[in-house]
């Protein structure tokens, strides 16, 4: 039983470590009362985790005033909400999208961030 569990856990660790997007996240910096955040939540929020982008770079929400902001290694201060920051496994900023340009433009901009700063969209993705 313990041997089978070890094999299962080893396989899970291997699968997670070879998954192309496991090491990046898309951090959404938001704040209470942000109308563009609310618009993103209504238009994109329910869909994002079900997309290739969401699978590759899972969303992590961080309030602009939260202590967690101090743990992010950012290129510059966040001034606008929402701001979407692509971070690596060490929470270092790779790229950012400031503001929410609407559903029609959001997907293309996020795809470009991922393609320019990760291996998203390479042969492994199709």
CATH code of 58's domain: 3.40.30.10
Establish if 68 belongs to a structural domain: yes
**Tokens found for residue 24:** 């990046």
Question: What percent of the chain has pLDDT above 70?
Answer: 79
Compute φ and ψ for 65, nearest 5 degrees. -100, 5
What pTM was computed for the model?
0.80
Establish if 8 belongs to a structural domain: no
Structural domain count, the chain:
1
Model confidence at 29, pLDDT cuts 50, 70, 90, reads: very high
The C-alpha atoms of residue 37 and residue 28 are separated, in whole angstroms, by 9
Establish if 100 belongs to a structural domain: yes
Establish if 70 belongs to a structural domain: yes
Establish if 3 belongs to a structural domain: no
The C-alpha atoms of residue 16 and residue 105 are separated, in whole angstroms, by 31
Structural domain of residue 91, as residue ranges? 20-125
Determine how many CB atoms are found less than 10 A away from the CB of residue 55.
15
Mean pLDDT, the chain, rounded, equals 86
Establish if 82 belongs to a structural domain: yes
């Amino acid at each position: 039983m313990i041997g089978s569990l070890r094999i299962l856990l080893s396989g899970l660790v291997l699968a997670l470590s070879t998954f192309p997007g496991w090491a990046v996240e898309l951090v959404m910096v938001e704040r209470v009362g942000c109308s563009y955040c609310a618009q993103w939540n209504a238009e994109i929020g329910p869909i994002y985790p079900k997309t290739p982008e969401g699978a590759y770079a899972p969303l992590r929400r961080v309030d602009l005033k939260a202590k967690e902001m101090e743990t992010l290694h950012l290129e510059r201060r966040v001034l606008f909400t929402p701001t979407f920051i692509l971070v690596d496994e060490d929470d270092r900023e790779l790229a950012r999208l400031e503001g929410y340009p609407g559903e029609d433009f959001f997907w293309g901009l996020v795809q470009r961030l991922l393609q320019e700063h990760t291996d998203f969209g390479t042969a492994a993705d199709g």
